[in-house]
Amino acid sequence: MAKKAVNSIVFKIAIPLITILATIAGAEVIFRSLLFNCPSLMDRWRRPGLYADAESDDNYWKLRVFFGASPAKRDDPLLGYVKPDITPADYYHREAQDVGGRKPVLLYGDSFAQGVAPPRDRFEGILNARTGFNGNYHLLNYGVIGYGLDQIYLLYSKSVGHYADPVVIFSLLDGDIDRCVLSMREGQKPYFLLNEGRLELNGLPIESDQNRFFSQRPPDIGCYLCNLAWFAVLPNRLDPNYPAAPRTSQKKRIAQAILLEAANDLRRRNLRYVFLVFEGMHRTWQRPLNWRISFLSDLFCRHGIPHIWARRAIERRVARNEFHEADYVVEDQHPNGRANALVADRITDWLRTGEADHDDD
């Protein structure tokens, strides 16, 4: 009798549960079919950010292409791409001959280093025009828009040996840490994995046909409706600025390995160097600091790595109540010439005194 009662309860629970699961599965099949086959009908739902995190998940970038965006050109088999100022394959800077008898200053980084302001307002335009700088130094800008920390390090390692006793400014945007866990963004990119604590380069060679690359790698999202609901209900949990967001620990491990490898290589070469950290201009005077800055501060201090915070270079010269973000931004939170000049001041101060920042606030 008891067994029959238990079976009856199980049956009563199982039937509704199966019905619910079957309904969800059916709805998922219909939603997925409409999403990829009826673009005009599903236009409002064809946004990658509804289903994946751009800073942590390749699926975001896959969906971007599958929803109609063209993949970016990739013509460098190692880095994916370089800017016109850098010669492919050997990675010499096209303005290297301008150094002459002066000491080369090599600035590595992403778009915050390369600059999106007019040329005269970029770091090479500002510093190479200053009489207090250009008598002894000449800056070669190796910053490349869109690079992650992995690509910055690879370009550094392939080019630094071209120059005799250079000064190296290894810069990064705090968000470049996130890009380390991605194998693609607008196009394929190299990336590192850790194998028994050692960096192992993956994602090579970079394919020249990016349409084929993406067509062979469709999104691998198990349930679009589930992701849609998850992102809608718990957006902060999936925000890459949230300290416990997915893959944060992996980002930290890989970023630490890359930064320590770069610092150790600079020391082995006996070069003068500093790490320069950028943040979006909206973070100037913003507290609390996001987890990336705290992570970097701790890493730099534990390993005695000299560093400069671009944000702090601005805060030292502009009072909180006098800072107006619009006065320092050119586009998409990138610094304009006014902001770059303040960071350039800090760079020249470091070159003159050797004093990097101290993390006491």
Residue found under tokens 């800072």: 323
pLDDT at residue 79 in the model = 97
pLDDT at residue 3 in the model = 52
pLDDT at residue 291 in the model = 92
Q: Residue 23's Cα: distance from chain center in Å?
A: 40
Q: Please work out, in degrees rounded to the nearest 5, the angle formed at the alpha carbon of residue 247 by the alpha carbons of 244 and 250.
A: 110
Report the SS3 class of residue 62. helix
Options 3.40.50.1110, 1.20.120.80, 1.10.1670.40, 3.90.190.20; CATH of 96-353: 3.40.50.1110
pLDDT at residue 239 in the model = 56
pLDDT at residue 344 in the model = 98
Residue-level length of the chain: 361
- Measure CA of the first residue to CA of the last residue in the chain; give whole Å: 72
Per-residue pLDDT of the chain (361 residues; tens, 9 = 90+): 555 554 455 545 666 666 566 666 767 788 888 888 888 888 899 999 999 989 999 999 999 999 999 999 999 999 999 999 999 889 999 999 999 999 999 999 999 999 999 999 999 999 999 998 999 999 999 999 999 999 999 999 999 999 999 999 999 999 999 999 999 999 999 999 999 989 999 999 999 999 999 999 999 999 999 888 887 766 555 555 665 566 899 999 999 999 999 999 999 999 999 999 999 999 999 888 889 999 999 999 999 999 999 999 999 999 999 999 999 999 889 999 999 999 999 999 999 999 999 886 5
- HSE at residue 310, side-chain half, CA atoms within 13 A, is 29
The structural domains of the chain, with segments of one domain joined by +, span 1-46, 96-353
pLDDT tens-digit readout, 268-300: 999 999 999 999 999 999 888 889 999 999 999
- Contact criterion met (CB below 8 Å) for 287 and 361: no
Give the 3-state secondary structure percentages of the chain, helix then strand then coil, rounded to 5: 50, 15, 35
Q: How far apart are CA 105 and CA 108, in angstroms?
A: 10
pLDDT at residue 317 in the model = 95
Q: Please work out, in degrees rounded to the nearest 5, the angle formed at the alpha carbon of residue 52 by the alpha carbons of 51 and 53.
A: 140
Q: How far apart are CA 182 and CA 180, in angstroms?
A: 6
For helices 248-268 and 291-303, the axis angle rounded to 10 degrees is 30
- Contact criterion met (CB below 8 Å) for 53 and 246: yes
- Contact criterion met (CB below 8 Å) for 153 and 261: yes
Q: How far apart are CA 94 and CA 293, in angstroms?
A: 33
Q: How far apart are CA 190 and CA 205, in angstroms?
A: 8
Q: How far apart are CA 282 and CA 332, in angstroms?
A: 10
- Contact criterion met (CB below 8 Å) for 223 and 21: no
> In sequence order, what DSSP letters do the residues of 87-111 get, joined into one string?
-TTT--BTTGGG-TTSEEEEEEESH
Q: How far apart are CA 208 and CA 84, in angstroms?
A: 17
Residue 139 neighbours by CB under 8 Å, 6+ apart: 104, 105, 106, 107, 123, 124, 127, 128, 133
Categorise residue 247: left if φ over 0, alpha if ψ from -120 to 50, beta otherwise: left
**Which H or E element spans position 314?**
helix 310-315
Q: How far apart are CA 168 and CA 108, in angstroms?
A: 8
pLDDT at residue 244 in the model = 54
